[in-house]
Copies of this chain bind each other. A is one copy, B any other.
Amino acid sequence: MDFCGGGLVSLVSLRRCSSGERPRLEPKTGLQLTFEFRSRHEEAVASQQITDFFGKNVKRVLFVPYALHDRDAYTQTARVKFLSLGYEVDGIHEAADPVEAVRKAEAIFIGGGNTFRLLKNLYDNRVLLEIRRRVLEEGVPYMGSSAGTNVATVSISTTNDMPIVFPPSFAAIGLVPFNINPHYLDPDPTSRHMGETREQRISQYHEEVDTLVLALREGCMLLVEGDRATLLGSTHARLFSRGKSCVEFAPGSDLSFLLTAAH
């Protein structure tokens, strides 16, 4: 499954409260899934997560292709994939009123690409706060890939992308109270590259703020459901905290503490 067209695949899913229930505003009612996969097996697992997450009540998914330049092509790619899983797709860029499209959405999927372009488009189209409201207050399930992972967090300050356009802020949708670094790369001791390692870049971020950063290697997944956050997938994740050594978590680890304000 390739929702990006450029080989970039990772997923984030989030539902802060069940849509059939009375809205619950506290952050303990979330589900977040981040998945990056490199094989047909991983793709199958991710597809299963998508259908498990959206379930049978969702019939149509609002797809947000803002992170890529060719929105039509991107939406078509997503449409084919989602149709194979039993979901219709509406491209948000096809709607006359994108805010209204968010208001009516049964489910939201934000695709990957360039995080700066994605966030700028979310602001320019004034849908950022409406997505936040629908997910946090009305339980609309949210999924995304890669850049869609970054924008679901506190800010895009731990994206790996180039700042190709200037958004009005780096503040993101804020569906969870921490940041994620997707596609996390361990330092390569054989490399002659002299730029900073990913770890050094995240460390520089923590020289500025103390927001936790969960670094997801390719193949690992974070599932947040209700007040529980669980690491899934096939690889370990690293949690970076300001002024502390980073901690490794194996698949199956309980990361629920990430959802509380005090950590």
A156 at the interface (CB under 8 A from B): yes
A43 CB → nearest B CB, Å: 12
Q: Is A10 an interface residue (CB 8 A)?
A: yes
Partner of A159, one of B8, B162, B194, B218: B162
Of B38, B114, B159, B200, which contacts A163 at CB under 8 A? Answer: B159
A6 contacts B by Cβ under 8 Å:
yes
**Interchain CB contact under 8 A, B166 and A162:** no
Residues of B within 8 A of A161 (CB): 196, 201, 204
CB contacts under 8 Å to B, within A90-135, are 113-114, 116-117
A-B contact pairs, 28 of them (CB 8 A): A7-B196, A8-B194, A8-B195, A8-B196, A10-B194, A38-B192, A69-B204, A113-B204, A114-B204, A117-B204, A117-B208, A158-B162, A159-B162, A159-B163, A160-B162, A162-B202, A162-B204, A163-B170, A164-B201, A164-B205, A164-B208, A166-B169, A182-B195, A183-B193, A183-B194, A183-B195, A185-B193, A193-B218
